Amino acid sequence: MTFLGRRAKIRQSKRKVQRERILKHLNMTVNGSSYAEMTLALAEIQLKSDLIVKTLANFVIAL
């Protein structure tokens, strides 16, 4: 293999590694934002549940 051929192969390998790093970073970012969305949804569900419990407790006390 010639010197230029080896350099081209090295450049190609570097690009592949860089592309994989970028994709890995994007996956971690997406996963992080998905986690934040799921946490927010869970908090909303818990608040709704607490409101239902409070409403039922007030209803039972009124009886």
CA atoms within 13 A on the CB side of 32: 6
Type of residue numbered 52:
I
Q: Show contacts of 36-40: CB within 8 Å, 24+ apart.
A: none
> What is the per-residue pLDDT across 18-39, written as a single tens digit (0 to 9) for each?
989 888 887 777 777 888 888 8
Mean pLDDT of the chain: 87
> What is the per-residue pLDDT across 4-15, written as a single tens digit (0 to 9) for each?
888 889 899 999
In whole angstroms, give the CA distance from residue 20 to residue 12.
12
Query: 9: which residues sit within 8 A by CB, 6+ positions away?
Result: 1
pTM of the prediction?
Answer: 0.49
Query: 21: which residues sit within 8 A by CB, 6+ positions away?
Result: none
